[in-house]
Structure 1
């Protein structure tokens, strides 16, 4: 697949040894196109999170190759990987990963500052307005609701204008309305040209993506374009019976 900022080629990853070995990814090949929003789904233990971690350079596959933001990860040292992730990649996790001692503004601008660049204050202000936090810029995470903290995490992803955003169950701890707002923001990231890869178990969350990719036992078994929540739920129900 051409123009795929995230591409896995024959990626295998096994945890443990001998009789206790578990194959988390079993020869996965897939490219995530630029400007796409893909939901990665499957039964528990299907390899969803391992796929995300290998694609993001957070975990190293046993074999196969991963290309992230146009850069092959094979042979890169931890410092090179850190620089690549810092400059080209953003993460939105269920746990928010905000710095408790910093304000909302400081949390959102921190990745840019760590990359040695001056924040674009006008862009940061626009991003914070887009996520509805203009009146919370001087608040610290402990003074925000869970939904507001997740919006800060999404704003941080928007602010650095990365090539790729990885989201791992980003709506899992949110109420329905806030979850819909966060999904709309992820949709905006893709429409702005970023590649968004989201691991989720929620059919409603998946319905906001361009496509849903389904894994069973570390293998891609199907892909659904323009997924509807009911179709995703039916697909998951069928796959759960196939998982080991």
Structure 2
């Protein structure tokens, strides 16, 4: 697989807000969040429970529509029209990795990995798929069913499944939350390799400072606002920053 380092800007949020509830009793999950991420970078998103982490990810990925503001993926603004059009856009530009592996139990590693291509009616490049599976240390497991794999191996199948569609942007929501420490490190190393070797852009929501330390930078949320950013993070510094997120701080625009 040739290196494919992307250039330019992979993701931009412009004053994105998301409000749930009623006009009389609104819940402000996101408050005018602005974010710009260069292509080929690994960003962790952290914050206390209820800070807006998952809402930010869902709005950025087109899974939820912002109440106000703009989201651009590879310079193309997400416009929420028909669900069919949005699904097609996500399928061609975006990959997903979740805490739950979401593998089909009756399909082999190969079949689970190539499922998005088959659903999209795309031709399967078997050489590329084999290369992805080799890079995710699954080359000798292609005929195994999910039940025959460890949790870490199942999550690596989920990463391979995201990679085979050649997305420019991968969103990972607590991808190591269901894994033991060793498996978690393997999965995080795979995501880092996808960035630094394949030129993907990864945005990962996590509560774990050790997981965040695998990223190039960490964006911190509190009360629906982006309040801080840390480049070249280490676990100790990330943990220290998290303990101070409740202190008053102006919202910041990240990556401007």
Deviations 1:31-76 (A, max 9, x none): 1110010000011100000000000000000111111233211243
Question: Structure 1 CA distance, aligned partners of 2:52 and 2:24?
Answer: 19
Alpha-carbon contact 2:152-2:186 (below 8 Å) kept? no
CA-based RMSD: 1.6
Per-residue deviation at 1:143?
Answer: 2.3
Counterpart check, 1:216 vs 2:222: yes
* SS class of match (1:113): helix
Show the counterpart of 2:99: 94
Counterpart check, 1:53 vs 2:58: yes
Question: Structure 1 CA distance, aligned partners of 2:80 and 2:173?
Answer: 26
Note the 1:1-244 alignment, pairs <5 A: 3-191=8-196, 192-240=198-246
Structure 1 gaps of 5+ residues are none
Normalised to the residue count of structure 1, the TM-score between the two structures is: 0.94
Question: Structure 1 CA distance, aligned partners of 2:111 and 2:155?
Answer: 15
Question: Structure 1 CA distance, aligned partners of 2:76 and 2:132?
Answer: 28
Question: Structure 2 CA distance, aligned partners of 1:195 and 1:176?
Answer: 24
* SS class of match (2:167): coil
Question: Structure 2 CA distance, aligned partners of 1:193 and 1:135?
Answer: 25
Q: How many positions carry a matched residue from both structures?
A: 242
Alpha-carbon contact 1:87-1:115 (below 8 Å) kept? no
Question: Structure 2 CA distance, aligned partners of 1:90 and 1:59?
Answer: 15
Normalised to the residue count of structure 2, the TM-score between the two structures is: 0.90
Question: Structure 1 CA distance, aligned partners of 2:134 and 2:66?
Answer: 39
Q: Larger % of helix: which? A: 1
* SS class of match (1:239): coil
Question: Structure 2 CA distance, aligned partners of 1:75 and 1:144?
Answer: 38
Alpha-carbon contact 1:206-1:229 (below 8 Å) kept? yes
